[in-house]
Amino acid sequence: MQILKPNFPEYELIDCGNGYKLEKFGQYILSRPEPQALWKCSLSQSEWNQMADAHFERDKTNSEKGIWKNKKNMPEQWKIKYNNITFRLGLTAFKHIGIFPEQASNWDFIFQKITEIKSTTLIPKVLNLFAYTGGASLVAKQVGADVSHIDSVKQVVHWASENMKYSGLDNIRWLIDDATKFVAREVRRGSLYDAIVLDPPAYGRGPDGEKWTMEDMIDNLLCDCKKLLKPSPSFLILNVYSLGLSPLLTQTLVKNHFSTHQNITSGELYVEDRFSKKLPLSVFCRVF
């Protein structure tokens, strides 16, 4: 099992604990909930209050939503860069801000593998499912891939398209669609891809209210993805945030469909604070 920490100069985890994390994104410091930070903070509450430009407080009636309490200098939107890709960040009612910095480890893998595939294929085709604000899509486009970006939420697809423009890129294929339905249609069309990236939520809804539950639907989705993925040197990345899925479980799930590929690795993505506390944030499995 691998445990991977991102190399992201404009991001820093300063401290974490008591169910929260204190993070620096560019010039701004945010305090927001983190259920996996089960230990105590290293800094005092007064130090957190002094450092944080914005603090997220959960809604007492809806744990999924909340409000940000900002200092006067804190804007609603700002930008940061990762390897010449620009992300527009913003404070949302769901505590998310438009980027998962630990995913930089997967972005580096995508960049490396697409570069390798380009030596055998003129323009690699990449399918990014549950694609959010487009980190993986932008990296793939930056290195010259033909990218299809699929997400069910119109607002985040628009957000991703803004990031493309800020990054000086173009011609990503934007699709507001249910991932399972889109993949099933692509199987019927006989489409093939050099790379597939999946980052499904534990629970979700499609644009027409289609229900997604990880435990019930991920196996069938991977079965269809197998039909879309070209033979080696292709690759697939499955990333999950569901707390019930371990690296071993995820690898076993993926290997059941992709046993013909030479390499199947799994592990956790984590970030580390100034006090050497390692905070695991997601589980991944890679096929290549």
In this structure, are residues 23 and 46 in contact, taking their beta carbons and an 8 Å threshold? no
pTM exceeding 0.75: yes
Find the mean pLDDT for residues 203-213: 90
Report the chain's terminal Cα–Cα distance, integer Å: 16
In this structure, are residues 77 and 88 in contact, taking their beta carbons and an 8 Å threshold? yes
3-state secondary structure of 241: coil
* Chain-centroid distance, C-alpha 78: 19
Measured CA to CA, the distance from residue 226 to residue 222 in angstroms comes to: 6
Measured CA to CA, the distance from residue 201 to residue 275 in angstroms comes to: 30
Domain 101-287: CATH class, spelled out = alpha beta
Measured CA to CA, the distance from residue 204 to residue 94 in angstroms comes to: 14
Q: Could you tell me which residues are beta bridge partners of residue 30?
A: 23, 54
Helix, strand, coil share of the chain (percent; to 5): 30, 35, 35
Residue 60, pLDDT above cutoff 90: no
Q: Provide the mean pLDDT of the chain.
A: 96
Nearest CA-CA partner of 86 in 163, 199, 158, 184: 163
User: Please, is 121 exposed, middle or buried when counting C-beta atoms within 10 Å of its C-beta (0-12, 13-18, 19+)?
Assistant: middle
Question: For residue 244, what pLDDT is reported?
Answer: 78
Measured CA to CA, the distance from residue 11 to residue 106 in angstroms comes to: 16
Fold classified for 2-90: Immunoglobulin-like (2.60.40)
Nearest CA-CA partner of 83 in 97, 66, 53, 103: 103
Domain coordinates in residue numbering, the chain: 2-90, 101-287
Q: Which two tokens stand for residue 212?
A: 């997604």
Each residue's pLDDT tens digit, 247-285: 999 999 999 999 888 899 999 999 999 999 999 999 999
Nearest CA-CA partner of 245 in 270, 221, 266: 266
Each residue's pLDDT tens digit, 111-125: 999 999 999 888 999
Question: For residue 61, what pLDDT is reported?
Answer: 84
Each residue's pLDDT tens digit, 145-181: 999 999 999 999 999 999 999 999 999 999 999 999 9
Q: What is the DSSP letter of 234?
A: -
Q: How many CA atoms lie within 13 A of 235 on its CB side?
A: 23
Q: Which two tokens stand for residue 220?
A: 């069938």
Q: Which two tokens stand for residue 96?
A: 């998310």
**What is the percentage of the chain residues whose pLDDT exceeds 90?**
91
